Chains A and B, each alone.
Chain A
Amino acid sequence: MAGRAVFAGLIFATALGAGWALAQERTAAAGRVPKPALAQAKGDKCVDPTDFMRRNHMQVLLHHRDRTMHEGIRTPQHSLKGCVECHAGPQSGTVVGGSDDFCQSCHAYAAVSIDCFECHAARPRQARAGARKP
């Protein structure tokens, strides 16, 4: 009986040790705090300074959404469509879906759910085969 308990203890200790070593390795690779991986956006700069957008993009989008919906103002400044066009991942072509995609990587990091793309397109419009109206 006692032998079995010692054996179980040994296995537990080994598992703990292995887990600790793995965690150490990961921390060493990514620094102390895991940072969101942001892909480079298209274009030179954002419509507003990065620091401002990091803290206030939700208010900016909320304001523009009401202006678009109720007043028909569809200017590119602060439109969600504009965000997606610049920030869609170069490989994935979207802003959500993968852990490297622009919106999702940061929202996963901040543990904030993102509901925009249940209705809004997370990909820019694909160039259509047919010619568009001038």
Chain B
Amino acid sequence: MKPVDPTRRQFLAAAGGAVSILTLAPGVLLLAPAHGRAPDQPVTGKVRWGLLIDTTKCAAGCADCVAACNRENGLSGGTRPTDPQWIRKVELKDRRPGRQASLPMMCQHCAQPPCVDVCPTGASFKRADGIVLVDKHICIGCRYCMMACPYKARSLVHEPVTGQSPDVPRGKGTVESCTFCVQRVDRGETPACVEACAAARHGAMVFGDLNDPASEIARRLAAYPSTRVRADLALDPGVRYQGI
């Protein structure tokens, strides 16, 4: 994809990237976020959020998405076994031809999430728009979901947390994972990792509505081959990869 001229990008962001403004009558404007839902309306199954990662554009050693995730969600960024990690970079190597690929791995937001199946309290749940979350108010920290997840996407918070972001409550003794930056998605923005990847001109991540045939992600999935990681499990993940 051609890099976008920054002035044009800014203009698009201001004019209609995140919010479309419709003139209903002179002086009356309707501001609608990209998901087309009023702020007081519940999410519906009409939308299914998905993420497409083009691994051919994802450079080994680049961790812009991980840094952005940590910043947005108030994670420490530490890599000790007890530090929560919502995205991690994975390096793949096909030994015989020696082909290498690098990709970010996070919660795959499955349509049939095993973490939800096993949760004994109902804390692990899938929102109507396909985002898989943990309701930390009812999570008891049993970590059954962490065992069930084939992507190792979830972390338990082992230590007391201070200085949380007002939008991202986090606390010791609960399980957490990538939320697709649900607080941003509800405002009509894209997840922090996607924004950071685009801002650094990597363009390896596309976020959008899988159910909308006109969305960029749906058009690219229709046009080019893509992979579901562990497709054999038939979990129908919302995160798809290209080039692996």
Hey, which bits of chain A sit against chain B, CB under 8 A?
A: 65, 67, 69-75, 81, 84, 118-121, 123-125, 133-134
Contacts and interface: CB of A to CB of B under 8 A. Distances in A.
6 contacts: A70-B135, A71-B127, A72-B182, A74-B186, A134-B13, A134-B14
Contact of A72 (B13, B43, B137): B43
B164 interface: yes
B123 to A, nearest CB: 10
B186 A120 contact: no
A121 B164 contact: yes
B165 A133 contact: no
Interface in B114-146: 125, 127-129, 133, 135-137
B42 A133 contact: no
B189 interface: yes
Contact of B174 (A71, A72, A119, A133): A119
Nearest to A124: B166
A75 B187 CA distance: 11
Given A72-B129, A72-B182, A81-B166, A119 B135 contact: no
B219 interface: no
Contacts of B186: 72, 74
A71 B45 CA distance: 11
What is the interface of chain B mostly: helix, strand, loop, or mixed? Answer: loop
Contacts of B37: 72
Interface of B: 13-14, 18, 37, 39-43, 125, 127-129, 133, 135-137, 160-161, 163-167, 169-172, 174, 182-183, 186-187, 189, 195
A120 B169 CA distance: 5
A73 B40 contact: yes
Contacts of B135: 69-70
Contacts of B40: 73, 75
Contacts of A133: 13, 18, 189, 195
B165 A121 contact: yes
B125 A74 contact: no
B170 A119 contact: yes
Contacts of B42: 67, 71-73
A71 B166 contact: no
B32 to A, nearest CB: 15
Contacts of A72: 37, 42-43, 127, 129, 182, 186
Contacts of A67: 42
Contact of B39 (A75, A123, A125): A75
B14 A81 contact: no
A125 B18 CA distance: 22
Contacts of A73: 39-42
B196 to A, nearest CB: 12
A119 B18 contact: no
Given A119-B164, A119-B169, A121-B169, A69 B189 contact: no
